[in-house]
Amino acid sequence: MAHPIMFDEADPLLGRVRALALALPDAAEKVSHGRPAFFTTKVFAYYGGSVKVAGTYRQHDQSVLVLIEPGEREALLREDRCYVPAYLGSSGWVGIDLTDETDWDEIGELLDASYRRTAGPRRVAALDARPPG
């Protein structure tokens, strides 16, 4: 059984995440479990997530999930805007809620960090070879 689509294609926050994620070398997008997933050979980000509380799921539809270094993850989880996502949290992923006040430079840095953990050395080298800016 296919998962229902759990996002709005017209969501402007998704558009911002999509632009940042797809600017990374060889990045592509697919729908996984009803949500946008950004990947090369492995997924490096998801748009949207959930938290399981007392047997029910609380949705975080406008959020980004990334896989970052443990120390950085711990620091983020001290902030109210961050959460441990259902299913992926046990593997080190963290969710960050997005709003109109989101620091998009920070989100770009988190996507970059997650990409570097999953993309492989050739793609990371291509990323590092890009001119700054």
pLDDT for the residue numbered 69:
95
Rounded-to-integer distance, Cα 98 and Cα 9, Å:
16
pLDDT for the residue numbered 89:
95
CATH number at residue 50: 3.90.1150.30
Q: What are the tens digits of pLDDT across the range 85-130?
A: 999 999 999 999 999 999 999 999 999 999 999 999 999 999 999 9
**Domain-embedded: residue 92:** yes
Task: Give the model's confidence band at 53: pLDDT under 50 very low, under 70 low, under 90 confident, else very high.
Answer: confident
Whether the per-residue pLDDT at 54 is higher than 80: the answer is yes
**Domain-embedded: residue 89:** yes
**How far separated are the first and last CA of the chain, in Å rounded?**
44
pLDDT for the residue numbered 68:
97
Mean pLDDT of the chain: 95
**Domain-embedded: residue 8:** no
Domain count, the chain: 1
The dihedral sign for the CA sequence 25, 62, 12, 108? negative
Cβ–Cβ contacts within 10 Å for residue 89, how many? 18
Classify residue 117 as left (phi > 0), alpha (psi -120 to 50) or beta.
alpha
Query: What percent of the chain shows pLDDT beyond 90?
Result: 92
Residue 91 domain boundaries: 14-124
**Domain-embedded: residue 31:** yes
**What CA–CA distances, in Å, run from 119 to 28, 30, 44, 49, 123?**
12, 16, 8, 22, 6
Rounded-to-integer distance, Cα 127 and Cα 115, Å:
10
Task: Give the model's confidence band at 77: pLDDT under 50 very low, under 70 low, under 90 confident, else very high.
Answer: very high
pLDDT for the residue numbered 23:
97
pLDDT for the residue numbered 38:
98
**Domain-embedded: residue 54:** yes
Across 67-78, average pLDDT: 96
Classify residue 48 as left (phi > 0), alpha (psi -120 to 50) or beta.
left
Rounded-to-integer distance, Cα 133 and Cα 129, Å:
12
Task: Give the model's confidence band at 133: pLDDT under 50 very low, under 70 low, under 90 confident, else very high.
Answer: low
**Domain-embedded: residue 103:** yes
**Domain-embedded: residue 114:** yes
